[in-house]
Amino acid sequence: MIPLSVVIITLNEEKRLTNCLRSLPKGSEVVVLDSGSTDRTEQIARELGAKFHSRAFTNHAEQKNAALALATRLWVLAIDADEVLTKELADEIARLAKEQSSSHQAYAIKRKLIFMNKRLNYGKSTDWPVRFFKRNSGRYHSEIHERFVLDSGTTGKLSEQMDHFSYDSIEDYFERFNWYTTLVAANHVKAGKEKVNMFSHLLRPWFEFINRYFFRGGFLDGYPGYTYALLSSFYTFVKYAKFRELTRPELKPS
């Protein structure tokens, strides 16, 4: 047993959850907070030793904060079911959790996107989310693309990385794409934004592709890099197109 709780929120994650759970540091407390799965998510979680709880989904930040409230150990690792720790990262986290003192309250982890069965290295496919932190040191904020914010203290960076298996296929990408672009558009309306900046709406998708594919080196990742850059630029266009539709009812079919 190590002083580490791992928290994961789930919804119908039977395809991904096994690899995620098996990559975690041995001896961790694992808490799965589900929001109504109808597949084998609960069975897999319990079979692999996780504590399983359910809660109706409200938004991502509230769901993750509810999961944090279920953790009982000194350190917390918050990950998603489609993320897999490398062995080196699992060892690094276990070592830090066991140490009596730490210079930071939280740590960001390098996350690499696996897209079309390839680990992408360029084109804005790598990020550094804060995922490893002391319990009760902060909370998640923002309903969409939630982020962990420390109440006080400093944030460091871990040396090792994890893999992000976000999309099973192009079809899966577009299913998530449609859901997220709708959420983002609705959130803009909720935030009181009144209209789309047409200059940004029409030009930003082109800049997004050029930036990802050429300036950020997406071309070095071959065809998957090209596809990811192109789809990402289209995502930028569609979320603002949906927002424009919401704020201009005359655009909708009668």
Residues 128 and 161: their CA atoms lie apart, in Å, by: 9
Residues 38 and 143 in one domain: yes
Cα distances (angstroms) measured from residue 130 to each of 104, 140, 215:
12, 10, 26
Residues 83 and 148 in one domain: yes
Q: What is the pLDDT along the chain (254 residues), one digit of tens a residue?
A: 899 999 999 999 999 999 999 999 999 999 999 999 999 999 999 999 999 999 999 999 999 999 999 999 999 999 999 999 999 999 999 999 999 788 899 999 999 999 999 999 999 999 999 999 999 999 999 877 899 999 999 999 999 999 999 998 999 999 999 999 999 999 888 888 888 888 888 999 999 999 999 999 999 999 999 999 999 999 999 999 999 998 887 766 66
Residues 115 and 201 in one domain: no
Residues 51 and 27: their CA atoms lie apart, in Å, by: 13
Report the run of H or E that residue 206 belongs to, with start and end: helix 198-210
Closest CA to 68 of 14, 146, 161: 146
Residues 195 and 153 in one domain: no
Closest CA to 84 of 197, 160, 163, 144: 163
Give the structural domain span for 158. Answer: 4-164
Q: Determine the pLDDT at residue 253.
A: 64
Cα distances (angstroms) measured from residue 216 to each of 4, 42, 116, 118, 194:
36, 40, 19, 17, 32
SS3 25: coil
Q: Determine the pLDDT at residue 191.
A: 84
Q: Determine the pLDDT at residue 100.
A: 74
> Which of 120, 147, 164 is the C-terminal boundary of a domain?
164
Provide the domain count of the chain: 2
Residues 13 and 114 in one domain: yes
